Amino acid sequence: MKCLIIAAGRGSRLSSRGDSKPLIPLLGLALIERVILTAKKSGLTDFYVVTGYNGEKVKRFLDGFSQNRDIKITHITNEEWEKGNGISVLKAKKLLNENFILLMGDHIFDESILVRLKNERIADDEVMLAVDYNIETNKLVDVNDVTKVLVEEGRISDIGKNIKRYNAYDTGIFLCSPAIFSAIEESLHDDDSFLSGGIRVLASKGKAKIFDIKDGYWIDVDDEKTYKLAEKKLLATLKKTSDGPVSRYLNRPISTRITRHLLRTDITPNYVSFFSFILAMLGAFLFFSGGYINLVIGAILAQVSSVIDGCDGEIARLKFQVTEFGGWFDAVLDRYADAFLLFGLTYYAYFTNMNFSVLFIGFLAIIGTFMNSYTADKYDGLMKRKLGQGKHYFRMGRDVRIFIIFLGALINQPLLILVFIALLMNAENIRRIVVLYKNG
């Protein structure tokens, strides 16, 4: 399926952030990049972008972006960009003769909306608009500027920014048939050059269907206020359902602040993974060196490493740089770091107590840790299937282990750390086995 994106406007309310609205950076990516990559992630591959104001600059940027990301982009020029956005859609009439997705170049949205919408069915003379019924709870919307929709019996009966009666918002995400072009042309006869005018024409014929986005998010990045709301919302999506309690309430709030700055650089997720690993290894080396000061500094480095360890995935998700290798590489480095940290603590505790039982306890802590990582895959998969995407569930993992090391080192109790980790991790593994067994 082809995807048409209109990005011809000037965006004067965001001019302080750049002279071309589609190129304004939002957490490391230009707005138009983020829209295209979200659509690509949902399964779309063939893009048509309508440019107008400062069009040549936007086209040059998209040419480089297209080559770097291996995405097919066809340029469409709208010299009448100062008129309504319906004109931009109309410029694609000769290129799109089948059903297509229509997006706005400045709307950030949840990819799950497109994943579901693109599989919907419409007749040859219909359009389908993704609407948001959460008009009472959606805090990402500028009520005075948003396009409002009145839905009756599953179809649009009215649409516009100034309509009195409405029960949904227009998200700017459409599944269109070529009928949209003739509808806009008909609307132009009434001196209405906006896309909503064309939708009104189809609605009057009962040909404008709706698609409920349910809990999906979207935001029209149109001014400074909505820009900051978009930043906040995207950072909030970085929380993972598999985050343990320490990650959720301590590490993640810190790591997202670090990530926000790293996004302005060219640092890749794999570099961050390796840096986190080096910090953990330095901490382990200090454990081997002996002495309370080295123990504390080493534990601090381990905890900092645990926080930084969240940044690689955050950068990867926000910059659409997620790869199978990256996830695997991060996991391998984590296992090495865990082994050295716990072995370093075992070494420290043994030479403090000179008791053979310390070695056995250290072994139980290490094997419990490794099995904790091994059982995580099946356990996480089960929880996501049972609870659904986006729902948090109970999990004890690496974040808890590192934090226990950190707290235990502060009170100079390396043996207590090992005992606690050995008991906690092995108990967690047994719990997961029971849960998986009970669920077949």
Could you list the pLDDT tens digit for every one of the 440 residues in the chain? 899 999 999 888 998 999 899 999 999 999 999 999 999 999 999 999 999 999 999 999 999 999 999 999 999 999 999 999 999 999 999 999 999 999 999 999 999 999 999 999 999 999 999 999 999 999 999 998 999 999 999 899 999 999 999 999 999 999 999 999 999 999 999 899 999 999 999 999 999 999 999 999 999 999 999 999 999 999 999 988 788 899 999 999 999 999 999 999 999 999 999 999 999 999 999 999 999 999 999 999 999 999 999 999 999 999 999 999 999 999 999 999 999 999 999 999 998 888 889 999 999 999 999 999 889 888 888 888 887 666 777 888 899 999 999 999 999 999 999 999 999 999 999 999 999 999 88
Task: Report the predicted TM-score, pTM, of the whole model to 2 decimal places.
Answer: 0.89
Cα dihedral 192, 195, 196, 198 sign: positive
Instruction: Tell me the one-letter amino acid at 64.
Output: G
Could you give the maximum distance between any two Cα atoms of the chain, in Å?
92
Cα dihedral 308, 313, 319, 323 sign: positive
* Domains defined for the chain, CATH in brackets: 2-232 (3.90.550.10), 238-438 (1.20.120.1760)
pLDDT digits (tens, 9 = 90+) for 168-222: 999 999 999 999 999 999 999 989 999 999 999 999 999 999 999 999 999 999 9
What's the count of helices (H) and strands (E) in the chain, helices before strands?
Answer: 15, 13
**What count of residues does the chain have?**
440
pLDDT digits (tens, 9 = 90+) for 64-115: 999 999 999 999 999 999 999 999 999 999 999 999 999 999 999 999 999 9
Q: How many CB atoms lie within 10 A of CB 133?
A: 16
Backbone angles phi, psi at 110, to 5 degrees: -75, 125
